[in-house]
Structure 1
Amino acid sequence: MYLKDNDLRQLDEARLDGLPREVLRALSKRLLSDLKEARERLNRSPENSSRPPSSRAPWERGGESLALGVEEEDDASAGSATDRVSESAPESERPKREASVGGDSKAGVKPKGRPGRRPGHPGVSRRRVLPIDQEQSHAPSHCAGCGAALEGLEAVAYTGRYELELERPESGNAGVVVTQTKHTYFEVRCGCGHRTRAEPGRALAEADWTVELTERHLVGPRLSSFIVALSLRLGGSHRRIQEFLADRFGLSLSTALISQCRHELGRALEPVVEEALRAALSDAEPVPVDETGRPQHDQALWLWAFVTANTLLYVIGRRTRELLHSILGPTPSPWIMSDGYSVYRAYGHRLRCWAPILRKARGPAERLHTPTQAFGRELPSTFETLMQAVYAARAAPGPHGLRQTYSQRLQALRQCCVRVAAGPYPDKAQVLARELRNDWDGFRVVLEHPHLPLTNNEAERALRPWVILRRVSQGPRTEQGSRAFCALAGVIDTCRRRGLSPWPYLTDALRQRRQGLPAPALPLAA
């Protein structure tokens, strides 16, 4: 860079008009060099620099062509150069096309086939055979045909299963151990001739879930909740969790089984999220709301957080008005604390967060345009004065309202925003001025009700750990994974806000759901 900020501040149109031709040409060369260097810095991406892939914006992950910076062609120019040339060439000179299915593997096209083990393949099983610590027998108590008691009749074993579970050691010892239990299921023939079987528990199938809720799964409820703790609370990848379980407990679990534990537990908790958490949101006020990018494979989705005093609800979906209405309704009764996203402006009971405005005001204050600098200095000064007045009113309310006390300063700020929005100011300054003008009522609500919050820091703090986890895992790859994540994250954070450990509840919920019973109610605050 040839020119520094101090040099650019001294340059304007009048200064350039007064420079001689040779001096202006030399200055233009330096400006051109600086512009090219700045544009090169702006165009840096994970594909052409050392930037990590996680620094890419969510909307830049929509597909291979977008990730590589390849622009899509229109219909008139679609197709490769080879295709366009070959279509105009004679038949004998046209290049041969590769077969899309069953062709040479070196061509980069993989044939599509049914996933899973191929017929005749020996398959892969658990590498370590753990000893059986205990056995449990399951026999029917009454005949399914006539209802007679079956006690004392001969029982024949017909199937069995194994279950790995975490157990607390004997009294006086620290830590946990993994035990393997063998469950045997018996069949009993009644005097009426009907054969009744004891079967493992199973929840009814749901169309939106491919994972089953059944006691036939190898991993027990407590071990499943432990795997979820390693994944969501400690941020461990499936490979790291697999390594830890093998080193600490001698377990040989596949990454697919570890993923299944998360999905199964998420399905077990989804009814709790749908009923209890959403009901708590409808009765609370105010509700801080925030959203952040949460990619789902190649889709640019968003993670929404809805926060109350003792409840959190997470939803992954589009950043649209329809999704917000599906959670809060078209006319929610509680106050909504949000940022400047235009979708929130449809709600009458809305509070506008002040923190983004103070942060955005730093930009105009550091611009090289002198009138913009004045606007950038006036804006934070006014808001800081109002913030101090709100804090003082919370401690000792005055005889007059804050809106009436600071009416002249508010009017001067509004006129300044109107002037900047319509005048010859940089785009960033005009956007900020329009945002203030459009959200004017949302800012002034706190001056009439000083007890209401000034920021939506509660929602931002709730999203922060999941943003860090997103940078590690790059987000889920399926819709089922997103739903499982939202259910787990909502229940875990809700229990934490209520001063409770979430893991005993997760264990009990999964155990009951596997038996076909409804999940227990969320525990109340301690």
Structure 2
Amino acid sequence: MHLSDHDLRQFDDAYLQTLTSAQARALLGKALADLKAARERLGQNPSNSSRPPSTRLPWEGVGGQETPAGEPEVPAVSGDVAAVADTPGAAAEPEETADPRPRRQGSRRPLSGAPPGRRPGTPGHSRTQHLPVDAEQSHRPTCCAGCGQALTDAHASRAHNARYEIELIQPGVGATGLLLHQTKHTYYECACDCGHWTQAQPGRAQAEVEWTVALTEWHLAGPLLVAFICALSQRMRLSRARVREFLSDWLGLELSTATINQCLHEAGRAVAPVVEAELYAAVRNVELRYADETSWKEHGRLRWLWVFTCATATLFVVGKRSVEVVRQVLGETFNGWLMSDGFWAYRDLDQRLRCLAHLIRKAQALEDGLEPAAQRFGIEILTVIATVMAAVYDARGAPPPAGALRARHAPMLNALLNECLRQRDAPHEKTRALARELLNDWDTFWVVLDHPELPLTNNEAERALRHWVIARRIGMGTRTAQGTRAFAHLASVIETCRKRAVSPWPYLAEVVRQRRQGLQAPPLPSPAS
């Protein structure tokens, strides 16, 4: 924009009277350019820009048409503004009075000086719901921890500890409904002939530096209940509070949000070895994979959610928007084709494809604009892309000789190349940016003429991201680094299982069950035949 708000506030009739004709024409040129740019921004829609379809207003048509004649226009008000406007008295919020007491960071309450936690003598809070015990299970040590002698039921024993586990029971064949089943696990200690007492203990995975959540059988929620909570949170996009409400209303189970959060983090830690051992290898050792990235928030800090997907696997990674993430996922010796957008971090890769859908949206924006030269440039790009796509579709049905397709369309591509060279320094910003984008990645757009079997768009990666973009808009990202890792690991396993046409939840429950016992996680299910 040429004129800022500060400039516009100073312009009035008296000021305009002081300008000469040349000065007035110069000011008019700036105002006209700003007006066109503002109108083009107002005319953006999912068909001519990178805006997602969910940003289309309910009263807009599919093509982004304006409100029909005769109907009142509804102003686009953000959720926060609308909430304030609908709240009585919110418009006249009183100013805060000065308070000399210090405040906690991110809190409106002053520090009291007292230590955090429960005050001595006050009643504590613990689990108050008491469910009936449906079954009891005893756990005895099998051998003496001292001398190694086998222990049998004949040896003296006594109970030393117990725990309760609430598990979700799925219906059998021909039945419907979900049931909660509570089991009391009693752990015994046995006396060996050598005099040593050996205790049976719940299973536990070894501690890991990057995880603070424990992977142990000493947990109220059973493996399948953990998987069910993951389904509500990850797949149904419910917050911890909404998961708690659902479990209470529909299953009669009272769990705290802290317990629900622990289940999610524990499941994320349980599948971490699967992600690192199988999914990284899966997206590296294929002929074709797709990549995309979108912004992500971790406790207010900007991160990026990356997706790398292929025919049988999908991997999500949250990190910086840098080339290091690409190298971490794809490795230093990358082979095969990568379909991506125009982010510069991909440019070091030799066999790369550019998504034509991104190019179509940007060219469509030029055609819908108000600048005549930009309109002509956008029409020329759209014509070339339509011709190339039609030729690729025809070649897939009847493959031509090697190099024939490129040679046939060489004059058209050369004409577009020359036009891009002329427009790379154009005064119109969007025209200049699109011309330079084409020149930077020229060969990646038209490599499909040499390999018609390759894809034309990056829709696979964008579809893989779509569900989690909606989750980001609902939940506003994650709050901790551990929560971010758990989210990415669970999303990777869930999407990979869905891509392989198998249910992720029984597998996730089995992974949690095995890992709680300190065992290795089972491999991912094979694609359904």
TM over 0.5: yes
Offset at 1:369? 2.0
Q: What is the identity, as a one-letter code, of the residue corresponding to 1:408? A: P
Could you state the TM-score of these two structures normalised by the residue count of structure 1? Answer: 0.81
Once residues 112 and 421 of structure 1 are traced to their aligned partners in structure 2, the CA distance between those partners, rounded to angstroms, is: 63
Aligned: 1:408 with 2:411:
yes
Q: Deviations over 1:286-330 (max 9, x none)?
A: 110001111111111111000110000000011001111111123
Tell me which residue corresponds to 1:488. 490
Aligned residue runs from structure 1 range 52-131, under 5 A: 52=79, 98-100=100-102, 108-110=109-111, 116-131=117-132
Q: Deviations over 1:237-268 (max 9, x none)?
A: 21111111111221110011111111000000
SS at 1:187's partner residue?
strand
Q: What is the identity, as a one-letter code, of the residue corresponding to 2:150? A: A
Aligned: 1:417 with 2:444:
no
Aligned: 1:346 with 2:348:
yes
SS at 1:505's partner residue?
helix
After superposition, the CA RMSD in angstroms is 3.0
Once residues 444 and 325 of structure 1 are traced to their aligned partners in structure 2, the CA distance between those partners, rounded to angstroms, is: 25
Once residues 256 and 315 of structure 1 are traced to their aligned partners in structure 2, the CA distance between those partners, rounded to angstroms, is: 25
Cα separation, partners in 2 of 1:51 and 1:183, compared to 1, 3 Å: same
SS at 2:332's partner residue?
coil
Tell me which residue corresponds to 1:67. none
Aligned: 1:50 with 2:64:
no
Once residues 444 and 359 of structure 1 are traced to their aligned partners in structure 2, the CA distance between those partners, rounded to angstroms, is: 17
Once residues 107 and 398 of structure 2 are traced to their aligned partners in structure 1, the CA distance between those partners, rounded to angstroms, is: 77
Q: What is the identity, as a one-letter code, of the residue corresponding to 2:149? A: A
Q: What is the identity, as a one-letter code, of the residue corresponding to 1:505? A: Y
Q: Which is worse superposed, 166-175 or 206-215?
A: 166-175
Cα separation, partners in 2 of 1:115 and 1:408, compared to 1, 3 Å: farther
Cα separation, partners in 2 of 1:525 and 1:237, compared to 1, 3 Å: same
Q: Which is worse superposed, 337-346 or 123-132?
A: 123-132
Tell me which residue corresponds to 2:248. 246
* Pairing partner for 1:236 from 227, 235, 238: 238
Offset at 1:499? 1.3
Once residues 291 and 54 of structure 1 are traced to their aligned partners in structure 2, the CA distance between those partners, rounded to angstroms, is: 29
Once residues 339 and 148 of structure 1 are traced to their aligned partners in structure 2, the CA distance between those partners, rounded to angstroms, is: 64
SS at 1:404's partner residue?
helix
SS at 2:297's partner residue?
coil
Tell me which residue corresponds to 1:374. 376
Once residues 449 and 455 of structure 1 are traced to their aligned partners in structure 2, the CA distance between those partners, rounded to angstroms, is: 14
Once residues 111 and 280 of structure 1 are traced to their aligned partners in structure 2, the CA distance between those partners, rounded to angstroms, is: 54
Does the 8 Å contact 1:188/1:196 carry over to 2? Answer: yes
Does the 8 Å contact 2:290/2:338 carry over to 1? Answer: yes
Once residues 292 and 359 of structure 1 are traced to their aligned partners in structure 2, the CA distance between those partners, rounded to angstroms, is: 18
Q: Deviations over 1:175-208 (max 9, x none)?
A: 1100111111001111101110000000000111
Cα separation, partners in 2 of 1:37 and 1:111, compared to 1, 3 Å: farther
* Pairing partner for 1:524 from 519, 526, 529: 526
Once residues 253 and 147 of structure 1 are traced to their aligned partners in structure 2, the CA distance between those partners, rounded to angstroms, is: 41
Once residues 406 and 500 of structure 1 are traced to their aligned partners in structure 2, the CA distance between those partners, rounded to angstroms, is: 44
Does the 8 Å contact 2:284/2:331 carry over to 1? Answer: no
* Pairing partner for 1:461 from 460, 463, 466: 463
Offset at 1:50? 3.1
Offset at 1:402? 1.4
Tell me which residue corresponds to 2:45. none
Cα separation, partners in 2 of 1:261 and 1:53, compared to 1, 3 Å: farther
Q: Deviations over 1:20-69 (max 9, x none)?
A: 969x79x969969x969969x99xxxxxx8313699xxxxxxxxxxxxxx
Could you state the TM-score of these two structures normalised by the residue count of structure 2? Answer: 0.80
Offset at 1:398? 2.2
Q: What is the identity, as a one-letter code, of the residue corresponding to 2:272? A: E
Q: Deviations over 1:436-479 (max 9, x none)?
A: 00000111211111111111110000000101111111111111
Aligned length: 455
Does the 8 Å contact 1:372/1:425 carry over to 2? Answer: no
Once residues 473 and 460 of structure 1 are traced to their aligned partners in structure 2, the CA distance between those partners, rounded to angstroms, is: 20
Cα separation, partners in 2 of 1:486 and 1:234, compared to 1, 3 Å: same
Cα separation, partners in 2 of 1:283 and 1:114, compared to 1, 3 Å: farther
Q: What is the identity, as a one-letter code, of the residue corresponding to 1:132? A: V
Does the 8 Å contact 2:406/2:450 carry over to 1? Answer: yes
Offset at 1:235? 1.3
Q: What is the identity, as a one-letter code, of the residue corresponding to 1:516? A: G
Aligned: 1:266 with 2:268:
yes
Offset at 1:100? 3.1
Where in structure 1 are there 5+ consecutive unaligned residues? Answer: 1-19, 43-48, 56-95
Aligned residue runs from structure 1 range 240-389, under 5 A: 240-389=242-391
Tell me which residue corresponds to 1:443. 445
